[in-house]
Structure 1
């Protein structure tokens, strides 16, 4: 699984209670930890001493955390809670039976609070057999390695020489436009007044033009 160098192996069990006991979490989130998670293991530590790759301006270490599940699904709030408590970038590997799934969070520096970062969104692979999940450690520093993990896990395609940050911003803008177009199309289908229907169609065309140039 993953195929990372032996020098990065850590293999330390983390009690799942660490992420909800003596910490202010909702009863619902605590129940998810108790019912959906069997075990949590810290599998790898990707850092300058273990990889011989320099740390980045933002990414100092990358931790690989395996979460063994009782069933092949997990509330994303669990990942956010773990990300909140561990002040490093985390590559999550969810496992259930002989299937695994990788998750990465697109992080930005937190503006306030004790958390070092905030996760804007998560990317993940499909479920696959353990020996099918491999990731390349690609980059001159850990900033680049992390960006390439997100690209590999999320299937992000960089366009027109965009950086990862730029491409994610473009993709998010596209998603918002598509949702707005779908909303207006539904309104137009249900609209009975010709004038109002015409206005909605014009709005749809304007948004579609914006989408076409992205």
Structure 2
């Protein structure tokens, strides 16, 4: 459940053609936009005023942009272009049939997992829009409990999440290679690498990296 205050609800549909005409898109991305995107609407607008916040911050407005997709395999570069060319901070709610996922752009594009529309969740936490924005990024980008529980800056958390994701890929790739390898010496080398990757993972999980 996306638990935003009633005062932030907008539900304003944006004409797709008018929307993408204001973006600097390559021909390929414009074609993807037309073929992949169904509807776009501003679901919520978060501001200092409608959230009754006291402090002024660099972040002036955060928009929850709801996008209904025509197909699940959506070109994420479109979201990057929208986010980079928009003056507001944007959280994307992507929907396809009965599934949904969240996305947010912060130096790079981060996604949540696809899940049932009923299971999608976002909550507001923080005393300023800057803090609220950081916590929205955390909710979308972080998916390892060991990282979520660390009391450190957003940038450090994202760095450690990225390292965990990289190590998970290496572990899966190395395990698969070790199972297929027939030569004992090469298999031993792969298992040695595998143990090193797992050790690095443990160090991150226990806050030693």
TM-score, shorter chain, exceeding 0.5:
yes
* Displacement over 6 Å in runs of 4+: none
Give yes or no for the alignment of 1:7 onto 2:12: no
Aligned residues: 200
Bigger drift between 149-158 and 45-54 goes to 149-158
Give TM-score, length-normalised by structure 1: 0.75
Residues in 2 aligned to 1:18 and 1:164: alpha-carbon distance in whole angstroms:
35
Distance 2:173 2:155 in 1: 27
Distance 1:145 1:209, change over 3 A: same
Alignment match, 2:130: 143
2:126 paired with 1:126: no
Structure 1 stretches of 5 or more lacking a match? 108-117
- Structure 1 residue 140: Cα displacement: 0.7
CA distance 1:55–1:35, shift in 2 (3 Å): farther
User: Does structure 1 residue 39 correspond to structure 2 residue 39?
Assistant: yes
Instruction: Give me the whole-angstrom Cα distance separating, in 2, the residues matched to 1:193 and 1:94.
Output: 47
Q: How does 1:112-191 map to 2 (within 5 A)?
A: 118-124=107-113, 126-129=115-118, 135-153=122-140, 156=143, 157=145, 158-191=148-181
Query: Alpha carbons of 1:61 and 1:147: their partners in 2 closer, same or farther (altered >3 Å)?
Result: same
Q: CA deviation at 1:141?
A: 0.8
Residue 207 of structure 1 deviates from its aligned partner by: 1.9
Q: TM-score if structure 2 supplies the norm length?
A: 0.76
Query: 1:77-128 deviations in whole A, cap 9, x for unaligned?
Result: 332222122122112223456x463513151xxxxxxxxxx32423356232
CA RMSD of aligned residues (A): 3.0
Query: CA offsets per residue over residues 135-187 of structure 1, 9 Å max, x none?
Result: 32221111221233234445643224234332222121112122222222333
SS at match of 1:207: helix
The runs of 5 or more residues in structure 2 that have no matched partner are: 205-209
The correspondence of residues 54-73 of structure 1 with structure 2, limited to 5 A, is 54-57=55-58, 59-71=59-71
Change (3 A) 1:159 1:193: same
Asked whether 1:79 is paired with 2:109, we answer: no
State the Cα deviation string for residues 19-47 of structure 1 (Å, max 9, x = none): 54375434432233222323212232211
